[in-house]
Amino acid sequence: MPATEHVHLIEQIADRFNTGALDAITELISPSLAGFTRDLALLRQAFPDARFTIEDILADGDKLADRYTISGTHARPFLGIPATGRQIRLAGISIVRISGGKIAERWAVTDQLGLLRQLGALPASPPQ
């Protein structure tokens, strides 16, 4: 699969997340990544207007790296935190391995600490 098709695969995931078509994401990933789709569903449920934006993307061979942001309004409970109505911006970076036209493996880091601070669950800065 050429690099342009790898990039298109990630763009399709972002588009499906943005339109709420989460069930359609499962056809683009390996069944072993059920946790990834579960996490996307949790985000979409708590932040129903969430937008997945690809900031940068690089592809080489069967691997692809992307830097992304997810932004939205905290309208429903999330990880036990009642809805705050706050706007959030979650930054992340992932590397995926693609096999057979699907994402077979995924490694990701997201700014979860920053997200909890935006939701008011943690202080904006550490106490001195």
In a domain, 107, yes or no: yes
Q: What is the CATH number of the domain that holds 55?
A: 3.10.450.50
Residue 12 counted as domain residue? yes
Cα–Cα distance for residue pair 16/11, rounded to 1 Å: 9
CB 63 within 8 A of CB 95: yes
Q: How far is CA 124 from CA 39, 71, 76, 91, 120, in A?
A: 24, 18, 21, 16, 8
Range of the domain at 17: 3-118
* Domain-embedded: residue 37: yes
128 located within any domain: no
Count of domains for the chain = 1
Has residue 123 been placed in a domain? Answer: no
- Per-residue confidence in pLDDT tens, the chain, 128 aa: 567 888 999 999 999 999 999 999 999 999 999 899 999 999 999 999 999 999 999 999 999 999 999 999 999 999 999 999 999 999 999 999 999 999 999 999 999 999 999 999 988 776 66
